Amino acid sequence: MFSFQLLSALASAALLVSAAPAPKDNCCDTSAAKMDLPGNQTQLVAPTTAPLFVAIGVGVQNYTCSASTLKYTSTGAVASLFDISCIDKTPAFATIQTTAFKAWSALSAGISATTIGSKIGAPGLLGYHYFVPSPTGAGISPKWDFTSTGKLAGNSTAFVIGSKVGDITAPTNSATNVDWLALNNLQGSLASKIFRIDTVGGQPPTSCVAGSADISVKYTAKYYLY
Ligand SMILES: *[C@@H]1O[C@H](CO)[C@@H](O)[C@H](O)[C@H]1NC(C)=O
Ligand SMILES: *[C@@H]1O[C@H](CO)[C@@H](O)[C@H](O)[C@H]1NC(C)=O
Ligand SMILES: *[C@@H]1O[C@H](CO)[C@@H](O)[C@H](O)[C@H]1NC(C)=O
């Protein structure tokens, strides 16, 4: 089976790989991309460098009913992250989170968010956002994981686990839209800072009755990774 032809094919493949340019981390140039943050706050401070990734997150925020407070408390989230760096300078960009939320809300329960990108003009799936046991040993921490899909697939360090350092209520409709957040890197080499802004949906009902089932509330948001 180990023929000269096979060896020589492998050698050419290796040459092709080594001659290929280094993979780009995102599909378009992000050097001019900027977050639009409210001016009347100091919790979320835009870095002076350009973002590495600009993504739309489409997924759910999960909650459980606290028997002591009869309020829903967060148990994490799961989202698919699509590259929106290529539409950054188009009119669609400002409202992509609303466009995505409408498309996501229209999908029947049980249908995965991974197909939304192609419906909203952002087909490039960069990776996934979900929660993992915290590296600190206490509770759970959010992770952005680009190791299995997109340009960084196969790169085992292409993730970041974050720790929240800033939080403001959504500037519009904060009863339905989850907070805007700033997080710093706790682990991983994908990014040193993560921001969640331009949120749509994701907030739980204001109260629950004892014994209520866990719920998942659909949301979208822009994520900027620096
Ligand atoms: C959140 O809920 C979804 C189902 O809606 C589930 O697939 C996912 O594993 C849950 N994640 C967490 C962290 O609770
Ligand atoms: C900050 O500005 C936003 C509008 O950008 C406004 O909705 C919000 O109420 C303001 N918050 C405070 C604390 O002034
Ligand atoms: C893997 O991904 C990380 C994060 O983007 C990057 O810093 C690193 O250079 C990549 N490694 C390789 C071998 O491409």
Pocket test for ligand 3, best of 18, 148, 189 (most atoms within 8 A of CB): 189
CA–centroid distance, residue 55 to ligand 1 (Å): 20
Please indicate whether residue 80, judged by its CB atom, sits closer than 6 Å to ligand 1: no
Domain count, the chain: 1
Q: Is the dihedral of CA 77, 83, 84, 85 positive or negative?
A: positive
Say whether pLDDT at 47 is over 80. Answer: yes
What digits encode the pLDDT tens for the residues 16-36? 444 333 445 567 899 999 999
Please indicate whether residue 225, judged by its CB atom, sits closer than 6 Å to ligand 3: no
What digits encode the pLDDT tens for the residues 178-219? 999 999 999 999 999 999 999 999 999 999 999 999 999 999
Burial grade of 134 (CB within 10 A; 0-12, 13-18, 19 or more) = middle
Host domain of residue 115 = 2-225
Note whether 33 and 50 are within 8 A (CB): yes
What digits encode the pLDDT tens for the residues 73-115? 999 999 999 999 999 989 999 999 999 999 999 998 888 898 8
What is the structure's pLDDT at 25? Answer: 57
Please indicate whether residue 189, judged by its CB atom, sits closer than 6 Å to ligand 3: yes
Nearest ligand to residue 154 Cα:
3
Mean pLDDT of 36-41: 95
What is the structure's pLDDT at 16? Answer: 40
What is the structure's pLDDT at 7? Answer: 42
CA–centroid distance, residue 124 to ligand 3 (Å): 18
> What is the pTM (predicted TM-score) of this model?
0.87
Closest to 168 (Cα-Cα) out of 61, 42, 29: 42
Beta-strand ranges (E) seen in the chain are 53-65, 72-83, 125-133, 140-145, 159-168, 180-187, 193-201, 215-225
Please indicate whether residue 64, judged by its CB atom, sits closer than 6 Å to ligand 1: no
What is the structure's pLDDT at 24? Answer: 52
What is the structure's pLDDT at 82? Answer: 96
In ligand 1, the atom with minimum distance to the C-alpha of 216 is: 5
The backbone torsions φ and ψ at residue 134, rounded to the nearest 5 degrees and listed phi first, read -65, 140
What digits encode the pLDDT tens for the residues 112-158? 898 899 999 999 999 999 999 999 999 999 999 999 998 899 999 99
The CA distance from 117 to 3, in Å, is 44
Mean pLDDT of 29-58: 96
The CA distance from 69 to 115, in Å, is 37
What is the structure's pLDDT at 2? Answer: 39
CA–centroid distance, residue 148 to ligand 3 (Å): 13
**Two structure tokens written together for 10:** 């492998």
SS percent in the chain: helix, strand, coil, step 5: 20, 35, 45
